[in-house]
Structure 1
Amino acid sequence: MRKLALAILALPLTACGSGETPPKPLTEAESAMLSPSDPKLAELYAGSCKACHTVKDSLAPLTGDRTLWDARWAQGEDALLAAAIQGKKGMPAGGQCFSCTPDDMKALIRFMAGREGEQ
């Protein structure tokens, strides 16, 4: 019943704005199935980011879950990159990706934020 009430309350919101469907939360399983299209990034992601960004209990935003990433994305790519390089809360500096360049990290952030391929 609660889910139905929330869905009804959300209907007016979906009718407004750009006509874009609002993002929906992803499950851990849905997040874990995602991988960057670039083979090099896929390897870097699997070796570092994926361990935390597909597990809700890690408190890291799940890969591809725009309901968790959009507010962070609004801070700007430079702020996200700085946080990834310096570390933030439970995330170690560089996300434990010792072979990631700043450009790699930027591309990985775009991927995890659900914006792979956007400019």
Structure 2
Amino acid sequence: MEAGRRAVGGWHWYGMALAGLVVLAGCGRGEIKPQAADLQRAETLRPMDAQLARKYERSCLICHGNQASQAPLAGFAPAWEARLEKGMPLLLTHVRDGLNAMPARGYCNDCSDQEFTRLIAFMSGGEQGGAR
């Protein structure tokens, strides 16, 4: 009987140790935070197309170039991955209707869906931009 208790107790501790490892393994998978270089890049990055850059500067930059806004930073791909996985049609709906703190149309009332698509592609790192 004593041996049986030790075996059960041993399995109990084994299970507890395994559960602890699983919890600890999950701790390292937090959200990737932007570093100083990412913040500086977001502040200076602009679309290559001059007209799109003007619209970006007057409508998107104030939030997507500033970490304090909690909007995904322009050029910081980890912040965009989960959003892009949902697909461009849903992202366009969120832009048109607004989402959380983002106002409808992101303050760009004269942007077309094509321009919104290009702006999202630029901010998510899919379209080339340059620093100014």
Higher relative contact order (CA 8 A, sep 6+): 2
TM-score normalized with structure 2 length = 0.68
**3-state SS, counterpart of residue 88 of structure 1:** coil
**3-state SS, counterpart of residue 100 of structure 2:** coil
Could you tell me how far apart the structure 1 residues matched to 2:34 and 2:91 are?
Answer: 20
In structure 1, what is the equivalent of residue 73 of structure 2? Answer: 62
Q: How many residues align?
A: 96
Larger strand proportion of the pair: 2
Could you tell me how far apart the structure 2 residues matched to 1:79 and 1:114 are?
Answer: 18
Q: Name the larger-Rg structure.
A: 2
Give structure 1 stretches of 5+ with no counterpart. 1-8, 10-22
Larger helix proportion of the pair: 2
TM-score normalized with structure 1 length = 0.75
Please give the residue correspondences for 1:34-113 in structure 2 after superposition, counting only pairs within 5 Å.
Answer: 34-113=45-124
- The structure 1 segments of at least 4 consecutive aligned residues displaced by more than 2 Å after TM superposition are 23-27
Identity %: 38
Cα RMSD between the aligned structures?
1.8
